[in-house]
C-alpha cells in the first residue's frame, strides 16, 4: 500500500515538473523559432514556419541602420570589466567582514543589509547627478563603476558565509610560517573559495550583460549603447520595428550566458551548496 501511494505521489510530481518545464521553456523555444521565421512579424498561425531563414541574423550585423556588432562589443567590455572589479571588491569586503574584528564591523554589516532592502532604481537620480558632476555621462566607465561598486552590496554576505566555513587554523598556520595577510588571502583563501567566486563572477557578468535600466539612463549616444538598449529601440521604434530581428538579437544575447552557465554549472552549484553543507 505504501509503495502504491509513493508511486502515485512520484507520478504526479513528475507530471507537475513536466508541466512547469513546458511553461518555462515554451517562450524561449518560440523566440528561437521566430528568429528563423521569414518576415518581420513574430505572430504566426503555425508554431513552425514554412521555411527557415538566417536573414535576420545577417541583417543585425549588415544593416547600416544598426550597429549591433558595436553594441555587442560594448556590452561585452562593460560586463567583463564589471565582473573583474566587482568580484575583487566583493571578495575583499567579505574577507574583511569574516576575518577581522573592528569597531565599525557591525555598523558596516547592518548598512549592507539595509541597502539590500531598497531597489537599485531608487538611486538613479543620485547616480545621474554624481556622474554629471564628474562628466562621466554617456561613458562605459560610468556603468562599470556602478556595477562594480554595487556588487559587494548584493554579494558580500554570500561570500562572507563561505569564508566563515574555512577553518581559521589554516590562516594561523600560515602566519606562524611568516605569511602576511596578503599572502594568506591570495594563496590560501582565494583557491579555497573558487566555487563561490565563480558563482559571484557569473552573477555579476549576467547582471551587467542583460541590464537595461541603468544603461538606458546613462548612455545617450547610439554608438555607446549596449545590446539591451539597442534591442529595445529596435522593438519600440515604429519606423524600424522588426520583431523577428528582435528575436534573433535576443537569441544572440542568450547564447553567451547559456554557454557560461553550462561551463560553470558544477562550480555554481558547489558554491551555492558548500556553505550550507559545512555550516
User: How many independent structural domains does the chain possess?
Assistant: 2
Please compute the mean of the pLDDT values over residues 131-156 and round it to a whole number: 91
- Residue 204 confidence class, pLDDT cut points 50, 70, 90: very high
Residues 138 and 220 in one domain: yes
Residue 60: inside a domain = no
pLDDT above 80: residue 227: yes
Structural domain range at position 184: 67-278
Of 213, 173, 201, residue with least CA distance to 263? 201
Of 158, 169, 146, residue with least CA distance to 97? 158
pLDDT above 60: residue 198: yes
The pLDDT, as a whole number, for residue 43 is 67
pLDDT above 70: residue 184: yes
pLDDT above 80: residue 233: yes
How much of the chain, in percent, has pLDDT values that exceed 70?
91
Residues 38 and 138 in one domain: no
Report the predicted TM-score, pTM, of the whole model to 2 decimal places.
0.84
Residues 36 and 88 in one domain: no
Mean pLDDT of the chain: 84
pLDDT above 60: residue 277: no
pLDDT above 70: residue 240: no
Residues 19 and 99 in one domain: no
Residues 177 and 258 in one domain: yes
Residue 61: inside a domain = no
Residues 19 and 78 in one domain: no
- CB contact set of 202 (below 8 Å; sequence gap of 6+): 260, 261, 264, 268
Per the listing, cell 594563496 goes with 187
Residues 32 and 142 in one domain: no
Residues 164 and 215 in one domain: yes
CB burial of 236-265 (b: ≥16 within 10 Å; e: otherwise) equals eeeeeebbbbbbbbbbbbeebeeebeeebe
Residues 76 and 126 in one domain: yes
The pLDDT, as a whole number, for residue 118 is 80
* Maximum pairwise Cα distance, the chain: 74
Please compute the mean of the pLDDT values over residues 159-181 and round it to a whole number: 82
- CB contact set of 146 (below 8 Å; sequence gap of 6+): 127, 214, 218
- The CATH number of residue 262's host domain is 1.10.3720.10
3-state DSSP assignment of residue 196: helix
Highest mean pLDDT range out of 47-51, 107-111, 127-131, 244-248? 127-131
Residue-wise pLDDT tens digits, 16-53? 999 999 998 888 888 888 888 887 666 666 777 778 88
Residue 62: inside a domain = no
- CB contact set of 128 (below 8 Å; sequence gap of 6+): 137, 217, 218
Amino acid at each position: 500500500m505504501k509503495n502504491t501511494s509513493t508511486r502515485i505521489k512520484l507520478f504526479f510530481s513528475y507530471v507537475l515538473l513536466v508541466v512547469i518545464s513546458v511553461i518555462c521553456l515554451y517562450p524561449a523555444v518560440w523566440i528561437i523559432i521566430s528568429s528563423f521565421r521569414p518576415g518581420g512579424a513574430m505572430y504566426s498561425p503555425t508554431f513552425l514556419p514554412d521555411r527557415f531563414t538566417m536573414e535576420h541574423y545577417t541583417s543585425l550585423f549588415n544593416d547600416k541602420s544598426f550597429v549591433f556588432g558595436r553594441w555587442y562589443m560594448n556590452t561585452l567590455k562593460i560586463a567583463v570589466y564589471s565582473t573583474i572589479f566587482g568580484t575583487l571588491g566583493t571578495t575583499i569586503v567579505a574577507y574583511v567582514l569574516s576575518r577581522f574584528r573592528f569597531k565599525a564591523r557591525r555598523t558596516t554589516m547592518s548598512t549592507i543589509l539595509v541597502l539590500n532592502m531598497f531597489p537599485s532604481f531608487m538611486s538613479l537620480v543620485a547616480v545621474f547627478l554624481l556622474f554629471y558632476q564628474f562628466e562621466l555621462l554617456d561613458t562605459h566607465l560610468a556603468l562599470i563603476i556602478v556595477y562594480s561598486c554595487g556588487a559587494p552590496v548584493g554579494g558580500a554576505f554570500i561570500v562572507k558565509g563561505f569564508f566563515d566555513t574555512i577553518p581559521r587554523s589554516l590562516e594561523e598556520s600560515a602566519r606562524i610560517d611568516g605569511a602576511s595577510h596578503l599572502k594568506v588571502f591570495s594563496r590560501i583563501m582565494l583557491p579555497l573559495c573558487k566555487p563561490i567566486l565563480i558563482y559571484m563572477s557569473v552573477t555579476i557578468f549576467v547582471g551587467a550583460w542583460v541590464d537595461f535600466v541603468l544603461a538606458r539612463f546613462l548612455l545617450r549616444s547610439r554608438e555607446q549603447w549596449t545590446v539591451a538598449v539597442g534591442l529595445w529601440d529596435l522593438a519600440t521604434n515604429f519606423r524600424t520595428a522588426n520583431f523577428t530581428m528582435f528575436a534573433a538579437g535576443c537569441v544572440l544575447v542568450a547564447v553567451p550566458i547559456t554557454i557560461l552557465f553550462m561551463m560553470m554549472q558544477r562550480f555554481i552549484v558547489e558554491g551555492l551548496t558548500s556553505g550550507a553543507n559545512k555550516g
